[in-house]
């Protein structure tokens, strides 16, 4: 939010510069920054009145203007603006003037006609990035008045970034209230007099949903001057807050929004039919908004309607059909309070942002509506004339929104310093709170309706700390009370897993949970993602269902910067739709690409392969995980494994699918893994066992099997057939080639037998080896290789 410092100082004038004021607000918890409205002020530019205009003899687009600039003589100035016409007042740069851009104005001949200066637009004064035509000034401006004085250009802009709980400061009134409390000075608010009611013209108001609209006031103002224009002082104050002047009635409602914090709306009363109704939308209703967007409404939407249908989306934006125009002479001014959640959800559902929604969803003072309506009425009558009708009011305005018990002991305990009891009451009263004693060191505090954020005792303590000054609280050492943490033996610690991956050359990355829906649809087409209502960008429009959606773009970004070798991992959450709810799961994922080892002289370079990634997982989880050949839409059909634990699928490992690699323009081999962290986090306690005093016996067996037979399947058959005497089983050779039939391979195992109570004899070991050979042949078709 941006506000003019000059405007604020009309309400409260602290003995501080703009920079000092911004610092004071920052220290009180309101992030603020002061910046000059114009870095360079115009010099030598005055108010000028165009007396006559004539076509330029040598140029169709130029006009020769006679201008009264208060110098005592009529100046001839050549101008190319389309709106240059007799009678208007505009900024006139006299010879010798310097524009904010640094351009110096001199007498010159334009196409053979002498020009004694320049008539200026808003952009040439540094007031706008671009503008069409001359900047037209108030008809009552005096020629010769320096433009910086007429427009009040010697000003600073206070830029505030307020937290959502401080909606009460989203106005001049709110900021003045806060500033006055910080400096201990009074607020001089403009006096708002109730309008004199002349006609009895009124429009009835019916509120059908009092919970969503607890307070609504409105009145008719008729007899407006349709030719009235918004005065320069108001245009400038709106512009300095980032709001463009549109129409006097619209500008006045925006002005009241900035001044008091109350969003308002002006309807063209001639376009209304019957009573005003605040109700929920009905099936099939539509509304065309002022931004020309047409909404399809449902029962969740709160509307302002008349007998003909919807007029506005309550608290968010008005409708196009009932808006004010250049022909408007009678208006209905609306000032209402809407429930924050209703406005917030409606705005998000329709993806609509407005100054009105911004304030309502943070909480508007429910006692402000009548005051704002009287202020807007007075401004309308001052600028446009007109006669005010009676106020129609539905609902009541509360005097306070909460009563909170406050103890002196809690103030000192939470702030960590001694705040005198005599100081507490004035600090709270400076914020508009009513304080009554309930004991020697306790009070009952009534919170004003504009402070929605104060609900419990700690909130009041925070207010006392802010006004006392955090920098006035002396630092002191505290005795820390830390409960010792002991990791469960049956839970694998994520930090240790991360450390193990880092030790194996991986780098941890943290990517956005918002990802490109196109990439995600290719990586995980079967899982429905959670779409975002208001995405940051089109490429960040859905919540990720797989961490690969972030790892792959990260690798692409690094590869484009000549990083050919990658070892990346991320531990984080993924999200998916689960019926009417959203599901969140923790995952651990990784990516490897490029050379298997850093460039060196001791080993030949080779690219990473499936078994490099598998070795990393085995280093983390040992034999707890098994790997089964399977198919995944994002992975290579012949280089993909489903990761299984205790018969349950817990993840995937494999190479990126070639077609997907082509779409994503990834020329190098890329291997990915992803695990369900909850499924692999638990580990079994180590089981102690004795050490045998007796020697072991080894038998080496090489089995010739089909290529489709996995080593895991072969190991399982061997362990089952060997019986309890088998203590260890290891693969020491894999062979394919000469001497073996096509489609067959040889896998050699070392079988180690041992008993804890005696030395095994040769017959027992041979019998176990023969049993293994027979079982492998019977169940897997394997033959012992000679």
* pLDDT tens-place string over residues 210-253: 999 999 999 999 999 999 999 999 999 999 999 999 999 999 99
Q: Do 623 and 714 fall within a single domain?
A: no
Q: Do 555 and 521 fall within a single domain?
A: yes
Q: Is 400 part of any domain?
A: no
Q: Do 317 and 254 fall within a single domain?
A: yes
| pLDDT tens-digit map of 731-771 | 999 999 888 988 999 999 999 999 988 999 999 999 999 99
pLDDT value at position 710? 87
| CATH code of residue 593 | 3.30.930.10
Distance from the first to the final alpha carbon of the chain: 85
Q: Do 355 and 419 fall within a single domain?
A: no
Q: Which of 348, 371, 395 is the last residue of a domain?
A: 395
CA 269, 274, 278, 280 torsion: positive or negative?
A: negative
Q: Do 520 and 656 fall within a single domain?
A: yes
pTM above 0.85, yes or no: no
Q: Do 56 and 32 fall within a single domain?
A: no
pLDDT value at position 777? 93
| pLDDT tens-digit map of 145-199 | 999 999 999 999 999 999 999 999 999 999 999 999 999 999 999 999 999 998 8
pLDDT value at position 532? 87
Q: Do 133 and 87 fall within a single domain?
A: yes
Q: Do 424 and 548 fall within a single domain?
A: no
pLDDT value at position 435? 94
Confidence of residue 329 (pLDDT cuts 50, 70, 90): very high
**What long-range pairs does 632-637 form, CB within 8 A, spacing at least 24?**
633/522, 633/523, 633/524, 633/525, 633/526, 633/657, 634/522, 634/523, 634/524, 634/548, 634/660, 634/672, 635/672
- Measured CA to CA, the distance from residue 514 to residue 582 in angstroms comes to 15
Q: Report the candidate in 754, 756, 755, 747 with the shortest Cα–Cα distance to residue 776.
A: 747
CA 514, 515, 521, 526 torsion: positive or negative?
A: negative
Confidence of residue 459 (pLDDT cuts 50, 70, 90): very high
pLDDT value at position 23? 95
| pLDDT tens-digit map of 273-306 | 999 999 999 988 999 999 999 999 999 999 999 9
Domain that holds residue 8: 2-37+156-183
- Measured CA to CA, the distance from residue 349 to residue 474 in angstroms comes to 48
| CATH code of residue 115 | 2.40.50.140
Q: Do 345 and 375 fall within a single domain?
A: yes
Which pair of tokens denotes residue 201? 């013209």
Alpha helices, DSSP H only, in 666-734? 677-680, 711-722
Q: Do 73 and 221 fall within a single domain?
A: no
DSSP sequence for 239-297: HHTT-----HHHHHHHHHHHHHS--EEEEEGGG--S-EEEEE--TT-EEEBTTSPEEEP
The percent of residues in the chain predicted with pLDDT above 90, rounded, is 75
pLDDT value at position 560? 87
Q: Is 486 part of any domain?
A: no
pLDDT value at position 665? 85
| pLDDT tens-digit map of 646-658 | 889 999 999 999 9
pLDDT value at position 146? 94
| CATH code of residue 23 | 3.30.56.10
Q: How many domains does the chain have?
A: 6
Confidence of residue 596 (pLDDT cuts 50, 70, 90): confident
pLDDT value at position 485? 75
pLDDT value at position 49? 95
| CATH code of residue 707 | 3.30.70.380
Q: Is 478 part of any domain?
A: no
| pLDDT tens-digit map of 25-71 | 999 999 999 999 888 888 899 999 999 999 998 888 899 999 999 98
Polymer length in residues for the chain: 786
Q: Report the candidate in 329, 150, 307 with the shortest Cα–Cα distance to residue 224.
A: 329
pLDDT value at position 688? 81
pLDDT value at position 599? 85
Q: Is 23 part of any domain?
A: yes
Burial of 786 by CB count in 10 Å (0-12 exposed, 13-18 middle, 19+ buried)?
exposed
Q: Do 217 and 104 fall within a single domain?
A: no
| pLDDT tens-digit map of 530-561 | 988 878 888 889 999 999 999 999 999 998 88
* Whether the predicted pLDDT of 463 surpasses 90: yes
Q: Is 264 part of any domain?
A: yes
Q: Is 692 part of any domain?
A: no
pLDDT value at position 130? 85
Please give the radius of gyration of the chain, using alpha carbons only, rounded to the nearest integer.
39
Q: Do 141 and 160 fall within a single domain?
A: no
CA 436, 438, 442, 444 torsion: positive or negative?
A: negative
pLDDT value at position 3? 95
pLDDT value at position 562? 86
pLDDT value at position 271? 94
pLDDT, mean of residues 62-90: 92
Which pair of tokens denotes residue 577? 């739709």
**Pairing status of strand 648-656 against strand 330-337:** unpaired
Q: Is 578 part of any domain?
A: yes
| pLDDT tens-digit map of 683-706 | 887 778 778 889 999 999 999 999
pLDDT value at position 620? 93
| pLDDT tens-digit map of 401-453 | 789 999 999 999 999 889 999 999 999 999 999 999 998 899 999 999 999 99
Q: Is 772 part of any domain?
A: yes
| pLDDT tens-digit map of 246-278 | 999 999 999 999 999 999 999 999 999 999 999
């Amino acid at each position: 939010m941006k506000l003019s410092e000059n405007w604020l100082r009309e309400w409260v004038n602290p003995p501080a510069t703009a920079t000092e004021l911004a610092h004071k607000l920052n220290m009180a918890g309101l992030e603020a920054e002061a910046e000059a409205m114009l870095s360079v002020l115009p010099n030598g530019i005055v108010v000028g009145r165009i007396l006559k205009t004539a076509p330029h003899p040598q140029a169709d687009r130029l006009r020769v203007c006679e201008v009264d600039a208060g110098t005592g003589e009529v100046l001839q100035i050549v101008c190319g603006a389309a709106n240059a016409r007799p009678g208007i007042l505009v900024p006139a740069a006299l010879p010798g003037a310097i524009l904010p851009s640094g351009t110096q104005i001199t007498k010159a001949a334009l196409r053979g006609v002498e020009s004694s200066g320049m008539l200026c637009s808003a952009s040439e004064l540094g007031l706008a990035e671009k503008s069409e035509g001359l900047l037209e000034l108030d008809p009552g401006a005096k020629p010769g008045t320096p433009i910086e004085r007429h427009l009040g250009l010697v000003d600073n802009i206070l830029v505030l970034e307020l937290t959502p709980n401080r909606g009460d400061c989203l106005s001049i009134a709110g900021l003045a209230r806060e500033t006055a409390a910080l400096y201990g000075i009074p607020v001089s608010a403009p006096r708002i007099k109730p309008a004199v009611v002349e006609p009895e013209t009124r429009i009835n108001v019916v509120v059908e949903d009092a919970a969503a609209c607890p307070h609504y006031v409105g009145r008719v103002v008729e007899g407006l001057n349709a030719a009235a224009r918004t005065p320069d002082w108001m245009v400038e104050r709106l512009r300095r807050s980032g709001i463009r002047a549109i129409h006097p009635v619209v500008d006045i409602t925006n002005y009241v929004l900035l001044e008091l914090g109350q969003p308002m709306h002006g309807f063209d009363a001639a376009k209304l039919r019957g009573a005003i109704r605040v109700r929920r939308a009905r099936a099939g209703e539509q509304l065309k908004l002022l931004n020309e967007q047409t909404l399809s409404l449902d029962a969740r939407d709160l509307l302002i309607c008349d007998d003909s249908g919807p007029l506005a989306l309550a608290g968010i934006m008005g409708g196009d059909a009932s808006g004010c125009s250049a022909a408007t002479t009678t208006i209905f001014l609306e000032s209402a309070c809407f429930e924050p959640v209703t406005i917030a959800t409606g705005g998000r559902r329709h993806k609509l942002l407005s100054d009105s929604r911004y304030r309502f969803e943070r909480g508007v003072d429910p006692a402000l509506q009548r005051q704002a309506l009287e202020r807007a009425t007075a401004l309308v009558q001052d600028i446009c004339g007109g006669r005010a009708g009676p106020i129609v009011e539905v609902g009541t305005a509360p005097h306070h929104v909460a009563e909170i018990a406050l103890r002196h002991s809690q103030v000192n305990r939470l702030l960590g310093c001694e705040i005198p009891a005599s100081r507490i009451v004035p600090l709270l009263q400076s914020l508009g709170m009513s304080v009554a004693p309930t004991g020697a060191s306790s009070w009952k505090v009534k919170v004003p309706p504009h402070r929605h954020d104060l609900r419990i005792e700690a909130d009041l303590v925070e207010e006392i700390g802010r006004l006392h000054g955090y920098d006035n609280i002396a630092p002191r050492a505290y005795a820390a009370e830390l409960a010792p943490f002991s990791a469960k033996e049956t839970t694998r610690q994520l930090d240790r897993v991360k450390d193990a991956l880092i030790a194996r050359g991986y780098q941890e990355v943290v990517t956005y949970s918002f990802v490109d829906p196109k990439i995600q649809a290719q990586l995980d087409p079967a899982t429905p993602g959670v779409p975002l209502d208001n995405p940051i960008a089109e490429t960040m429009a859905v919540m990720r269902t797989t961490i690969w959606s972030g790892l792959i773009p990260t690798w692409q970004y690094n590869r484009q910067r000549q990083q050919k070798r990658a070892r990346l991992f991320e531990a984080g959450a993924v999200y998916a739709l689960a019926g009417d709810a959203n599901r969140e799961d923790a995952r651990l994922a990784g990516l490897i690409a490029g050379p298997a080892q850093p460039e060196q002289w001791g080993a030949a370079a080779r690219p990473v392969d499936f078994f490099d990634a598998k070795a990393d997982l085995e280093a983390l989880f040992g034999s707890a995980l098994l790997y089964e050949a399977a198919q995944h839409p994002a992975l290579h059909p012949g280089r993909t494994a489903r990761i299984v634990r205790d018969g349950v699928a817990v993840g995937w490992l494999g190479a990126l699918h070639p077609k997907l690699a082509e779409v994503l323009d990834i020329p190098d081999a890329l291997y990915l893994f992803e695990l369900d962290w909850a499924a692999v986090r638990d580990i079994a306690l180590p089981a102690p066992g004795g050490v045998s005093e007796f020697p072991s016996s080894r038998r080496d067996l090489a089995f010739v099997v089909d290529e489709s037979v996995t080593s895991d399947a072969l190991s399982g058959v061997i362990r089952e057939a060997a019986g309890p005497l088998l203590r260890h089983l290891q693969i020491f050779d894999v062979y394919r080639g000469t001497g073996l039939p096509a489609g067959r391979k040889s896998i050699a195992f070392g079988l180690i037998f041992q008993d804890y109570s005696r030395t095994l004899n040769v017959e027992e070991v041979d019998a176990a080896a023969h049993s293994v050979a027979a079982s492998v042949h019977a169940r897997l078709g394997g033959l012992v290789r000679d």
